[in-house]
Amino acid sequence: MRRTAYTLAVTVWRALLLLGLGLLPVVAAGAEQLAATEAAEFMGADICEACHEDIAAGLGMNPHGQSADPRTPSARDGCESCHGPGSLHVEADGESSAGMFSFHPVSDETTELQNAACLACHQGKALMHWQASAHDNEDTACSSCHTVHLPDRVLERTTQAEVCYGCHRTIRAQTYHASTHPIRAAKVVCSDCHNAHGGVGPAELVHLSVNENCYACHAEKRGPFLWEHYPATEDCSLCHRVHGSIHPYLLTRQGPQLCQQCHQDIRAQGRQHVRRFFDFSDPDAARDRFIVGLNCMNCHSQVHGSNHPSGAYLLR
């Protein structure tokens, strides 16, 4: 009876889920797996633990292994809730998977089938945008990042970044620049800004825009301001590199080079600026405009916006 109920449940949730995901063709790829499952029977978690003692010990430290929680696989059929009934596997003395579902990277199961098994329980909330997300499009399996039999390194803030760096190595290099967010100290982690399962904003951000993401921590830069600095209100990344920079304050370039990308029309005449700082007519004097000590922010310090009546030029 249990085997029949399991087979029916597997058939229904796979068909419905894959139909909703547009993955129905992968059902044919799993037909042989399903046929083997139908011929097997449940053995119970105790049988699994007899051979897989190390895995059983690690599972106890994972949310999936909490049998007191009725939502977990351990509260239902234990290991076989995800891997399927294992009587044929036991009869083969473990020499063959015998129809049991495997999540190993070198298994015969397709990524779609592996992920469908996870999505059968993990739906909604943070997973609402998984379909067509960057990781879904790259054919990334859930097990590529998450560990079910051990404490999940993705859920642990001190190890999460290292999991992401396995693929995002350029980002890892940027976190070692002179100016960074405190990512290496785990005070800021990838999931604070990005949703690996699909975000509503660009680059899988958890908020609708880059600025809204930044304002979650930097609320003082939100405004509204009486005098706005338009690049700051448009996109923080126009001036800042969020993962790390060789320039102070995560800036994309040093000042005043950064400012002069937009403010190229500034001249000494009529603007009360230091003449040699902005004199482009004299080649020798022009070199002085990039002297480190002569920074636009020495005077125009309110670069994100100002509410002062005399702050039209973003002055103090």
Question: Is residue 39 within 8 Å of 7, Cβ to Cβ?
Answer: no
**CA count, 13 A, side-chain hemisphere, 93:** 0
Q: Are strands 227-228 and 305-306 parallel, antiparallel or unpaired?
A: antiparallel
Q: Tell me which residues of the chain have a pLDDT lower than 50.
A: 1-13, 17-18, 21, 23-31, 267-272, 275-276, 278, 291-292
Alpha helices of 60-165 — where are they, by DSSP H?
80-83, 87-91, 111-119, 134-137, 157-165
The pLDDT value recorded for residue 270 is 40
Q: What is the pLDDT of residue 20?
A: 53
Residues 6+ apart with CB under 8 A from 254: 247, 248, 292
Give the predicted TM-score (pTM) of the model. Answer: 0.76
Amino acid at 9: A
Q: What is the pLDDT of residue 194?
A: 95
What was the pLDDT predicted at 68? Answer: 86
pLDDT confidence of residue 250: 95
pLDDT of residue 266: 62
Residue range 285-294, pLDDT digits in tens: 555 555 445 6
Q: pLDDT digit string (tens) for 135-188?
A: 999 999 999 999 888 888 999 999 999 999 999 999 999 999 999 999 999 999
Cis peptide before 224 (omega within 30 of 0): yes
Q: What pLDDT does 80 receive?
A: 86
Q: Residue 212: what pLDDT?
A: 95
Residue 189 is predicted with a pLDDT of 95
